Amino acid sequence: MTDDISVPGAPASRPAPFDEPTTPEGPLPPKADQSGPEPRTPTGARSADTPPAVAQQGEYLTSAQGARLRQTDRSLKAGPRGPVLLQDHHLREKITHFDHERIPERAVHARGAAAHGTFTANGAAESVTCAGFLRAGVTTPVFVRFSTVLGSRGSADTVRDTRGFATKFYTEEGVYDLVGNNIPVFFIQDAIKFPDVVHAAKPHPDREIPQAQSAHDTFWDFVSLHTEAQAHTIWNMSDRGIPRSFRMMQGFGVHTFRLINAQGETVLVKFHWRPKIGTHGQLWEEAQLSAGKDPDYHRRDLADAIESGAYPQWDLALQVMPDSPDETFAGIDLLDPTKFVPEELAPLHVVGTMTLDRNPVNYFAETEQVAFHPGHLVPGIDVTNDPLLQGRLFSYIDTQITRLGGPNFAQLPINRPHADVNDMLRDGMHQSAVHGGVAPYHPNSLDGGCPFQAGADVGAFIDVPAVVAESVKERTQSASFEDHFSQVRLFYRSLTPIEQQHISAAYAFELGKCYEEAVKRRQLVALANVDAGLCATVAASLGLDAPAPTLEPADVEPSPALRMVGETWPIDGRTVGIVADDATDVSELATVRDAVHAAGAVPLVIAPHGGMLGEVPVQRTTHTAASIEFDAVVALADDPSAETTRVFEEAFRHGKALGATSAGAGVLDRAHITRDAPGVVVADADAAVDALLRLLGAHRVWERLLAG
């Protein structure tokens, strides 16, 4: 029934009354879609506390020390017009705490969104790793944080940027963090260059602009000179740099890792997250509209999908390669983080599925305070000598100490392991464990010898005894790292024509924002080494001559697996706008809404006014609706407003499926949309909705976009 359809976005777990409540009662529970971290002690033991026990308590306002307070609206003064008194301890406590509520934001990945969920293994990894959470049938709690890289906490979600995809597995053998991105390669090969690339990509230090963008001189100056960055840059210029949703992003571990099984055998692997509903991007105009109309677009999309019951899912897959002495595969250096391994050469093996089904209760306590680290490993998973990964093993711990106020960040509730912790680490800022004993050192006899060193028979972590070749100490790298263009060419040549169009347009936009012509010309030389056609297209847009390549273009075999266009996918969580008004047949509106919901999509009713249409709630008015939030739109009413016309104009231009009944077809005419255009359906309500739902599986009507 229509009444069963959830309308996401309610701010609290029950509706607010009109009058200010005056009858004391305790804190409201979280919403049904929300859950905090599983209660654990600072040393990993299960806590007897329930989740509400760690939230605020009691029905009355108190001080931080628990004293009940009569009033919090006026300071203590010497008379109604006199000075505020220094003895006002409540004022001082309240203001002092407020003055210290903010903590340093992350230097990168500052803006993020997160969710709780579970990961269930299928056992396919048991032959290559002894990691317990990858055994068949094991279900592990997870917390996942998605993020942009460049922008500050207050920047927009839909900027062109790499997205972070960090997963914390709370395994029975300790915390395992898979800290990756939505792009499988990185800008640099060695961690020593990380400050350089971030300084180049961040806003210019004199004006502090542009925010959360790479379309400026310092970024392109760096990547055109330091050409190992070209591989990551072209991925950023693709549709993967402007994802439609966090739910529709792939995730990659970026680096090569080493797995060891119960027999002591090792393999090299790359980790992949594959979204069940496909990998999809926005168009550039959509991304710009989203940044202005709803800067929280991706955050809201993730939270609303979970609240609506459209739980995002990803398969975790491995590319498994031999642990050869040279640590290469098919001519690809597996220690070079600017390289990926095409799936046609090393197929993906799905080892489990992750489902995100609960939103955080408190953004700061969970999403902001979660601390990831590539060195949070469990038995069966080890690192390689990738020089970028090696530097990350230091940097992540270092930054958490600054950001979270000391070395005890693992004791924050969101970071607490779900395994016994007996680490001999003591004291420090914000120590919340109460350690017993007198001998936090090894060996000891005064505490009975505890903690004892673990052996392999009781699940000790395994530092794989990898062979280190005889060499000398020097600042250099392997000759194989010097290939900066073959995989850039491979990526570009693997894409469909419409995806290639989007890449050339992205380069033209970004370089067009640069001031220095020398920077533009230098990047054109890099593009000439990738593809002559790409270089010529971008050069023409900039009004410059296309240079000749400085290298012989590599002969590459395209990888169709890199394409985002050409398949159909489940439509779970897709949004469908339904235009209606007071003259719309309410039963027809309810039937359409129910059909969209039954297909797994989210119906959003758009009307000239808020409130209700009969018994159907209105979620968007003509003044608040925006084309960017709909994957398809159907008109059951002929709304003559300029706002609704704009929604259809933009949706048509963005290749979205559109429908109308005879009563609503006038909207198409006002938007100058031909009724027989690709992806446009005019029919009775049932047929129109059925056609739209089928079109949604392809993400867009690509035929319309290719036709221009």
User: What are the tens digits of pLDDT across the range 573-609?
Assistant: 999 999 999 999 999 999 999 999 999 999 999 999 9
680-686: Cβ within 8 A, 24+ apart:
680/652, 681/657, 683/659, 685/588, 685/591, 685/592, 685/634, 685/636, 685/661, 686/591, 686/592, 686/595
pLDDT in tens, 52-68: 888 999 999 999 999 99
Residue position matching structure tokens 């797995």? 259
Average pLDDT, the chain: 96
Residue 52 confidence (pLDDT):
86
Whether the full predicted model's pTM is greater than 0.85, yes or no, is yes
Mean pLDDT of 347-356: 98
Residue 513 confidence (pLDDT):
98
Residue 689 confidence (pLDDT):
96
Q: Which residues lie closer than 8 Å to 364 by C-beta, 6 or more apart?
A: none
Residue 437 confidence (pLDDT):
96
Please check whether the two domains, 112-183+242-415 and 485-562, share a CATH topology.
no
Q: How many CA within 13 A on the CB side of residue 527?
A: 29
Residue 306, amino acid: I
Which of the following is catalytic: 109, 116, 232, 376? 109
Q: What is the separation, in whole angstroms, between the first and last Cα of the chain? A: 41
In the residue annotation, 261 being an active-site residue is answered as no
Q: What is the DSSP letter of 255?
A: S
pLDDT in tens, 227-248: 999 999 999 999 999 999 999 9
Residue 510 confidence (pLDDT):
98
Residue 3 confidence (pLDDT):
61
- Per-residue pLDDT at 1 exceeds 80: no
Residue 469 confidence (pLDDT):
86
Residue 284 confidence (pLDDT):
98
Phi and psi (nearest 5°) for 4? -85, -5
Q: DSSP of 574-639, one letter per residue?
A: -EEEEE--TTS-HHHHHHHHHHHHHTT-EEEEEESSSSEETTEEP-EETTT--GGG-SEEEESS--
Residue 6 confidence (pLDDT):
76
- The token pair at 5 is 């359809």
CATH number, domain 575-707, options 2.60.120.280, 3.30.470.10, 3.40.50.880, 1.10.150.120: 3.40.50.880
- Per-residue pLDDT at 708 exceeds 80: no
pLDDT in tens, 77-107: 999 999 999 999 999 999 999 999 999 999 9
Q: Which residues lie closer than 8 Å to 251 by C-beta, 6 or more apart?
A: 165, 167, 180, 181, 182, 271, 272, 273, 314
Residue 50 confidence (pLDDT):
85
- Beta carbons of 375 and 396 less than 8 angstroms apart: yes
Dihedral angle, C-alpha 499, 503, 509, 512, nearest 10 °: -150
Topology, domain 485-562: Hemocyanin, N-terminal domain (1.20.1370)
pLDDT in tens, 302-334: 999 999 999 999 999 999 999 999 999 999 999
Of 678, 682, 676, the residue nearest 698 (C-alpha): 678
- Per-residue pLDDT at 682 exceeds 50: yes
Which of the following is catalytic: 116, 122, 181, 529? 181
Task: Tell me whether the omega of the peptide bond preceding residue 8 falls within 30 degrees of 0, making it cis.
Answer: no
CB atoms within 10 A of CB 46: 10
- Per-residue pLDDT at 565 exceeds 80: yes
Of 469, 194, 190, the residue nearest 335 (C-alpha): 190
Domain residue ranges in the chain: 112-183+242-415, 485-562, 575-707
Predicted confidence band at 34 (pLDDT cuts at 50, 70, 90)?
very high
- Per-residue pLDDT at 4 exceeds 80: no
- Beta carbons of 599 and 331 less than 8 angstroms apart: no
- The span from the CA of 250 to the CA of 277, in Å, is 10
Residue 707 confidence (pLDDT):
79
- Per-residue pLDDT at 648 exceeds 80: yes
Mean pLDDT of 511-532: 98
Task: State percent of the chain over pLDDT 70.
Answer: 99
In the residue annotation, 376 being an active-site residue is answered as no
Tell me the CATH number for domain 112-183+242-415: 2.40.180.10
pLDDT in tens, 109-157: 999 999 999 999 999 999 999 999 999 999 999 999 999 999 999 999 9
- The span from the CA of 315 to the CA of 273, in Å, is 6
